[in-house]
Structure 1
């Protein structure tokens, strides 16, 4: 897994008008923060936005897949991140719209800790 530096820079630039984006490398990918709130991850050069029970219906209506992975025991597990719609990769307004939904989910997260990455 990897996090494409070009994608990370695009996200940072696209969201600069709404807040300060930082990221921390993790397991070959990156966790992204907007003003200290976790809102996305990038793995295998794919952007996944944070979601929760409140935001899930919006993501479902968009048809955005839930992040899933194979566990060591062969079962498939999911975490509450949704694949970013394709238009966020080249449309600043779409990036801001979907990122705002993800930031709100991040703010609602239990035990939300505001960490700064780089």
Structure 2
């Protein structure tokens, strides 16, 4: 596990326990069995949806994008604000926002991933 992932697990301690799993050349961050964040190239992205996307856009935070078949594909994850890393209160606010988006995205019958 990378030093950055270990650092993020410490940063998220005020929010609660966070587990990391390698995926697609990055990591997924999980809380209570749900992926609420993505780390690619040591950049943290948080889960967003139509309820929370405005907070990310208002802060000028870009979505996670990757190239596929000659086009950029946007995912429902947005770059985390710097204050999340510096202020435990902001860590909890932004982490809760991302976790709630993950809860809303979860289908009723799909099993939760154990980490």
- TM-score tier after normalising by the smaller chain length: 0.7 to 0.9
Match of 2:104 in 1: 108
Where do 4+ consecutive residues of structure 1 move more than 4 Å? Answer: none
Q: Quick check: 1:29–1:43 contact (8 Å CA) kept in 2?
A: yes
User: Size of the alignment, in residue pairs?
Assistant: 113
Secondary structure of residue in 1 paired with 2:20? strand
Unaligned runs of 5+ in 2: none
1:23 aligns with 2:27: no
Root-mean-square deviation (CA, aligned residues, Å) is 1.7
Partner-residue secondary structure (3-state), 1:78 = strand
Shift, 1:25, TM fit: 0.4
2:80 is matched with which residue: 81, 84, 91?
A: 84
Q: How does 1:1-118 map to 2 (within 5 A)?
A: 5-71=2-68, 73-111=69-107, 113-117=111-115
SS, match of residue 53 in structure 1: coil
**Contact preservation (8 Å) 2:64, 2:74:** yes
Q: What residue ranges of structure 1 are gaps of 5+ in the alignment? A: none
Cα distance change of structure 1 residues 41 and 113 upon mapping to structure 2, 3 Å threshold: farther
Q: Quick one: structure 1 residues 114 and 19, their matched pair in 2 at CA, closer, same or farther if it must change by over 3 Å? A: farther
